[in-house]
Structure 1
Amino acid sequence: MNRKLGKLPPRHDPRTFRLESSLGTRLITPPPAINWATDVTWPVWCNDTLGCCTQVSVASAIRCWTLAAQAQTLLSDEQVIRNYSAASGYIPGNPATDQGGIELDVLNRWVREGYERPGQPGHDYLTAFGSVPPTDPSAVRRAIAALGGLYIGVQIPNYIMQTSGDWICQPIANQTIAGGHAVWIHGYDPDWLHFNTWGECRRMSWGWFEQFCDEAYGLLSRQNWLTIRGMSPQNEDMDALIAEMRAA
């Protein structure tokens, strides 16, 4: 199967909220392990032919949230492509416009203008987001456990493009970077972070994550992450989550 990348270099904005491990005054204590998408088969969402990984991660987030909190919402290939076009300027049929996307731009547009999704009148809107330092495992675990996942960007070494299986550090492998890639982390345990990419469930070691992740964001979605009781699946109030984020 072909594998396309598509995450452009990070763009940092000092106004972005920060989700640090110190923001635990009202958030849950993260458990030793959690996985919001066990036994799930993932679509490729055209990431074998297009550099649309930043939008595949949007679709993955929506699926994880609704799978845990409501009823599963699965975007179509066509919706992912239209969202990719809206955020990153891709014109179907024009390969020169398939240039990938900047994660911060994708998330800001999700907040301001929303993206297509099935079963939703109008667009799906992100409530808020905040950056998470990849070198802070406590913050990473807290974001995944409290917010249903983590939207990350990584730099992919060539050996990942050439092999299958777990993403682990390989000192003797070719470390040349093939490009940037966006993925949605939907779980963790003491040894692994669990995610999906190119239509497959995968695992990355914590060491690989710390070495190759160059940006990470915790996302808040009032539309998708609340149950019918108006609470998250972890029984947290959305306003409290937003207040914690904005306190940084």
Structure 2
Amino acid sequence: MQIVRGKVAERIVWGQLEQGDTVHVTSGMLGERTGETLPLSALTLLAPAEPSKIVCVGRNYLDHIKELGNDKAGLPTEPGIFLKGPNALTEPGGTVAYPAWTENFHYEGELALVIGKRASDLTPENALSHVAGYTCANDLTARDKQKPDLQWFRAKAADRFCPLGPWLVPGLDPADLGIQTRLNGQVVQDSRTANMIFPVIDVLVYVSRYVTLEVGDVVLTGTPEGVGPLQPGDTVEVEVQGVGVLKTAIGNRA
């Protein structure tokens, strides 16, 4: 089963997708079925989350740390956290304009999760029970703005810098999932979540020690090796094993 969020005419709905094309409308992300059904084709899919914040982990794969030259001081001893706001969300299948203010716009494919139960001071034993489901994310980055930014504000958190989707899949084991990014059909990132320095459970425990995660909040878990530049006209696909494919088009400079 997949949990979808979409728009029908002027109405935004949540639903449970079964048998490939039937959406059972629900009263919310984790709500009960209302009895209404819709064909998937009737929905314009939206990012499957309504977050108050998007918490992101940086430098969580050793090979990615090495490719950016950040391995000289040794491995991180705790997750490196930064934030995006809800303004960064982009719908699956959407187009993101190439920002006119950067000359080095990058893709970063990632496993993401959405919180389903308010979470504070989680433990390794209960952390995953607070996850509503897993999805794909593209942590779009203006690489040339990371160094001048004090907190990666422009570099990571600008409008539409977080494509998310296509839907949520509950109940996955995030410990060892394949993650692949394709640029114009060519594989550019290919790894597994088992290669994370800080696994999903550790990330949730760490973040919830300092910040309460609310229902609908999103957590991005880091990107593997193979990040690279985008150009207007490119198409990026992020695929996570057991979830599906998140497709994003890069538009003209704007």
Q: Please state which band the TM-score falls in when normalised by the shorter chain.
A: under 0.3
Normalised to the residue count of structure 2, the TM-score between the two structures is 0.26
Normalised to the residue count of structure 1, the TM-score between the two structures is 0.27
- Ranked by relative contact order (alpha carbons within 8 Å, sequence separation 6 or more), the top structure is 1
| Structure with greater strand percent | 2
| Structure with greater helix percent | 1
